[in-house]
Every structure is written in structure tokens, then in C-alpha cells.
């Protein structure tokens, strides 16, 4: 069913579908938007198998290792790879945006207009209110401190003032801890746990499902023959689901045509993209240059150094997954295709793909991290002299962009939501998010493609650290 020629033909058909969709979107935008239903059906087909596929493939990966303790080396390598590539990606974003300076000279008028648009963004407004309350409390505290120090000198008690100070300081601490890096890290840790597996499954909340699958399968490996039926069932379901992905991929050219035609058609009908490109085209180009450096230089170098594989051949082999990522703008929806393509076309060991790719689709987002860092600096540049962009702030941006990318879900435009964390951390006006609102969906396609490429290459890098027995079929 998936001979190399069949598969190559499919990749070619998908490319033709994307080009055709863009042509239709420009020639007849309104008609193009009518294809939305077809796109939705394709998305649903992919998304409906994500949860069972992730659960059974992660479990089957661990069962194939035979013992969860053997996860130490590949586990460490996976986390190391995710972190190193995300940080390299952020640094690339910072270098490119500082070198090109797309935000310089944007002008106060454009800034005001963009901020007005951003003010309609709910998350941005929440963050803004929080910052305003912090400023307010700071202002209230100053006269109270003056009163307290005066009375201290006279030795008289000032219970009312002390009480007010204590109350305000407590509120300040609470507000600050809500947006501090400590809080972000603790929120990310909490994301690993759920109080209801079914709720997480229903919401495609993959991280806790993966955490559970690792622990559960690890436990199964200690139970021996008593759970033979269960372990082979898990393996069979996994195998059948991977086969099912192949079936779905047969309609991928149609699905992808519909998705791209509808989205580009809508943008063209609204005229928003052309308008935005005219205004912040430099910014869009800067992000695309940064993403290209990461995708065509950094990641390939890492792959070559660790595996001696030809990285560009690897990219071609991963073509179907990369094109699906571009069309869906969702790492999660692309996940079944990424896994299937990595195993069958790029020839990465199944055990490595089963373990590295599902986790990567949820936490390893190089493209998103680069985009968030670059956008924050772009906004700072647009503010000009009104904002002092120190080196310390750039470092904070790098750090929070990494965390924000880890926290972003693998769904369309998730990066825009977690961007609030980055802007808040360095005191940039969150409503300036309005600047990038109209191009976010467009850049989302490019960054999601890089996210998926990073996951696939990660599975090839980690492959080398797997114990040899991992090749053996699960018991």
C-alpha cells in the first residue's frame, strides 16, 4: 500500500494541491473559502486518532524497551535535544531580529492602531490589568511607608498603617508570583498531571496522557506473563492505527487543498494579509529568515553530527509530514503523519519515533520559540526610545520564550497566546500583540513546519542512544 513510488507520488500530489489551492485563493477568494468543510473533515480525520495513537505508541515504545529503567539514556538525550535546539532557535531569532531591525521606524501611529486591535485580545488584556494593579499598589505603598517611618521615629504604634502595608504587600507578592518565572515553571510541571484521564483525552491534552502512558507501561513490564494479553493488545492497536494513518493519507491531497484554499482565500477576501504584508513585511521576512536558518543550517548540522545522515535527504523523506504541518498549522494534528513518515520513509527506528515524536509534538517547538522571541524584540524596536531594551531584558526574553514555547499547545496560533508570558516578563505592552495579529496565522504555518521537522530529526538523533534490544518486538 505504501511502496516508495506510491509515497513519492503522494508527496508530489500534495505539493500540487498546495500550489493549486493558493492559485484558487487568489483568483477566486470567495469560492475558495467554500472549501472549508473539506479541510475540516481532513483535520478531524487526523485529530480523531491522535489520542489513541499517542497512548498506544508511547506504551508500545516502553514495552519494546522491556524495562522502563532503560529509558535513562534516551530520555536524557531527548530532553537534552529538545532544550538545546529550542535555545539555539531562540538565539537565532534574537540575532536575526537585532540584525535586521524590522521594528525600527514603525512610527507611533502604526503602534497606536495596532495596540487598539490588540486591546481586543482577552489574554493580553488580563495581563495588562495585572500590570496596572501592580503599578497602583506600588503607588499606594509609598505614602504608607513614609507614615510608618515617621511614627517609628516617635516610637508610637501605627497598627492601621502596618495592616494596610501588610495587605498591599501580600497582594503585590501574589500578583508578581503569578507572572514570575517560578510560577511559569510550576505551571509547566503541573501540565504533566491530570485528575481525569478521560477529560485530558477529550481535550487532546497530550502531556498528562504521555506521562501516564510511560508510567503505566513501565509498570506493565514488571508484571511478566500475567499481562501478556494486554501488552500484545496495545502493540496491535498501535500497529493498526499506524496503518490507518496510511489510509487517511490517501485523501491528504484533497484535504490539504481544501485547508489551504479556504484559509488563504479568506485572508485574500478580507484583504488583511496584503495590507499587513505591506505594513510589517520586514517583520514577516525576518521571522521566515530566522526559521530558515534554523531549519536549513542548525538542525541539519545537528542531525549530521550525531547520525551522519544526509539532512536534506531526510527533509525530503519527511516531506508529507512537513507539508501537512504547513497546511494544518498544528503539530498535534500532524503527529500521526509525522510518526508514520519518520518510520516508513525516513527509516527511523519505531521505538525512537514512538517515544520522541509524541512528546516533541507537545513540548518541542523550536519555530514557536524563535517567533516569540523575535516578536517581543520587534515590538520593543517599534516602541523606539520609549522602551529601554537592555541585554538583561533580551536574556529574559530568550528564557521566557523557551518556556512559553514548551507551554504552547500543538494547535493553530497557540504561540500567540503564550506570547503574553514573554511580553509581561519584560514589561512590554501586551496590547502591542495587535501588531502581529493579522500575520500570525500565516507565520504559524512556517513555524509549525519547523516544529515538526525538529521533532522528526530528534527521533533520528535519539535513535542512537536506544539499547539494542529495543529493536526486538514487544513481548
* Chain residues in the site for ligand ASP (CB under 6 A): 329-331, 365, 368, 408, 410-415, 444, 447-448, 451
Question: What grid cell was written down for 273?
Answer: 494579509
Cα separation, 337 vs 333, whole angstroms: 8
Residue in 343, 340, 147 with CA at minimum distance from that of residue 248? 340
Cα separation, 467 vs 362, whole angstroms: 25
What minimum distance in Å lies between the beta carbon of 298 and ligand ASP? 18
In terms of CB distance, is 217 or 425 closer to ligand ASP?
425
What minimum distance in Å lies between the beta carbon of 154 and ligand ASP? 59
What minimum distance in Å lies between the beta carbon of 155 and ligand ASP? 60
- How far is the CA of 451 from the CAs of 322, 333, 363, in angstroms? 9, 13, 10
Cα separation, 325 vs 344, whole angstroms: 18
State the DSSP code for 223.
Answer: S
**Residue 324 neighbours by CB distance under 10 Å:** 28
Closest residue to bound ligand ASP by CB: 415
In terms of CB distance, is 200 or 330 closer to ligand ASP?
330
Q: Directed axis angle between helix 36-48 and helix 228-249, to 10°?
A: 160
What minimum distance in Å lies between the beta carbon of 223 and ligand ASP? 36
In terms of CB distance, is 393 or 445 closer to ligand ASP?
445
What minimum distance in Å lies between the beta carbon of 445 and ligand ASP? 8
Which H or E run includes 329? Answer: none
Which H or E run includes 472? Answer: none
In terms of CB distance, is 293 or 470 closer to ligand ASP?
293
In terms of CB distance, is 74 or 410 closer to ligand ASP?
410
What minimum distance in Å lies between the beta carbon of 442 and ligand ASP? 12
In terms of CB distance, is 40 or 413 closer to ligand ASP?
413
Which conformational region is residue 41 in: left (phi greater than 0), alpha (psi within -120 to 50 degrees), or beta?
alpha
In terms of CB distance, is 298 or 465 closer to ligand ASP?
298
Cα separation, 248 vs 417, whole angstroms: 31
First-to-last CA distance in the chain? 27
What minimum distance in Å lies between the beta carbon of 201 and ligand ASP? 19
| Structural contact between residues 44 and 332, judged by C-beta atoms closer than 8 angstroms | no
Residue in 16, 5, 8 with CA at minimum distance from that of residue 253? 16
What minimum distance in Å lies between the beta carbon of 414 and ligand ASP? 4
What minimum distance in Å lies between the beta carbon of 456 and ligand ASP? 13
In terms of CB distance, is 253 or 415 closer to ligand ASP?
415
Cα separation, 12 vs 16, whole angstroms: 6
In terms of CB distance, is 354 or 455 closer to ligand ASP?
455
Transcribe 140-169 into DSSP letters. HHHHHHHHHHHHHHHT---HHHHHHHHHHH
The alpha carbon dihedral of 131, 137, 143, 146 has a sign of negative
- How far is the CA of 320 from the CAs of 180, 250, 401, in angstroms? 40, 11, 28
What minimum distance in Å lies between the beta carbon of 217 and ligand ASP? 26
Residue in 290, 359, 321, 331 with CA at minimum distance from that of residue 81? 359
What angle (nearest 5°) sits at the alpha carbon of residue 458, between those of residues 204 and 307? 160
What minimum distance in Å lies between the beta carbon of 365 and ligand ASP? 5
In terms of CB distance, is 424 or 451 closer to ligand ASP?
451
In terms of CB distance, is 235 or 444 closer to ligand ASP?
444
The residue to which cell 528564557 is assigned? 399
Amino acid at each position: 500500500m505504501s511502496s516508495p513510488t506510491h509515497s513519492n507520488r503522494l508527496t508530489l500530489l500534495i505539493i500540487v494541491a498546495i500550489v493549486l489551492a493558493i492559485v484558487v485563493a487568489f483568483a477566486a477568494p470567495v469560492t475558495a473559502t467554500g472549501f472549508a468543510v473539506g479541510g475540516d473533515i481532513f483535520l478531524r480525520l487526523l485529530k480523531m486518532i491522535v489520542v489513541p495513537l499517542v497512548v498506544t505508541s508511547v506504551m508500545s515504545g516502553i514495552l519494546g524497551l522491556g524495562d522502563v529503567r532503560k529509558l535513562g539514556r534516551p530520555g536524557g538525550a531527548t530532553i537534552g535535544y529538545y532544550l538545546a535546539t529550542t535555545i539555539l532557535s531562540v538565539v537565532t531569532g534574537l540575532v536575526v531580529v537585532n540584525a535586521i531591525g524590522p521594528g525600527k521606524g514603525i512610527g507611533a501611529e502604526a503602534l497606536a492602531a495596532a495596540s487598539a486591535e490588540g486591546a481586543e485580545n482577552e489574554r493580553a488584556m488580563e495581563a495588562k490589568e495585572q500590570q496596572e494593579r501592580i503599578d497602583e499598589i506600588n503607588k499606594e505603598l509609598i505614602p504608607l511607608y513614609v507614615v510608618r517611618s515617621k511614627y517609628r521615629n516617635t516610637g508610637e504604634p501605627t497598627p492601621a498603617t502596618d495592616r494596610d502595608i501588610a495587605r498591599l504587600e501580600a497582594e503585590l507578592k501574589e500578583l508578581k508570583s503569578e507572572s514570575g518565572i517560578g510560577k511559569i515553571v510550576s505551571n509547566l510541571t503541573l501540565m504533566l498531571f491530570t485528575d481525569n484521564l478521560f477529560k485530558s483525552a477529550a481535550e487532546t491534552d497530550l502531556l498528562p496522557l504521555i506521562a501516564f502512558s510511560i508510567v503505566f507501561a513501565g509498570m506493565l513490564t514488571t508484571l511478566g506473563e500475567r499481562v501478556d494479553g494486554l501488552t500484545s493488545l496495545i502493540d496491535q492497536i498501535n500497529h493498526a492505527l499506524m496503518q490507518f494513518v496510511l489510509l487517511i493519507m490517501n485523501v491528504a491531497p484533497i484535504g490539504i487543498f481544501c485547508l489551504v484554499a479556504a484559509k488563504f482565500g479568506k485572508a485574500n477576501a478580507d484583504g488583511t494579509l496584503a495590507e499587513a504584508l505591506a505594513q510589517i513585511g520586514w517583520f514577516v521576512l525576518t521571522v521566515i529568515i530566522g526559521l530558515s536558518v534554523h531549519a536549513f543550517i542548525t538542525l541539519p548540522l545537528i542531525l549530521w553530527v550525531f547520525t551522519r545522515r544526509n539532512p536534506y535527504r531526510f527533509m525530503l523523506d519527511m516531506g508529507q509530514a512537513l507539508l501537512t504541518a504547513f497546511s494544518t498549522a498544528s503539530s498535534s494534528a500532524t503527529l500521526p503523519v509525522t510518526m508514520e513518515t519518520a518510520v516508513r520513509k525516513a527509516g527511523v527506528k519505531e521505538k525512537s519515533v514512538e517515544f520522541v515524536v509524541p512528546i516533541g509534538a507537545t513540548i518541542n517547538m523550536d519555530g514557536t520559540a524563535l517567533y516569540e522571541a523575535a516578536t517581543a524584540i520587534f515590538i520593543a524596536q517599534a516602541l523606539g526610545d520609549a522602551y529601554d531594551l537592555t541585554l538583561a531584558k533580551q536574556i529574559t526574553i530568550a528564557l521566557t520564550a523557551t518556556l512559553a514555547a514548551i507551554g504552547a499547545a500543538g494547535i493553530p496560533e497557540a504561540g500567540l497566546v503564550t506570547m503574553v508570558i514573554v511580553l509581561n516578563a519584560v514589561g512590554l505592552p501586551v496590547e502591542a500583540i495587535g501588531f502581529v495579529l493579522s500575520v500570525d496565522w500565516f507565520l504559524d504555518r512556517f513555524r509549525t513546519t519547523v516544529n515538526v521537522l525538529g521533532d522528526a530529526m530528534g527521533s533520528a538523533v535519539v535513535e542512537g542512544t536506544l539499547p539494542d534490544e529495543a529493536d526486538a518486538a514487544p513481548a
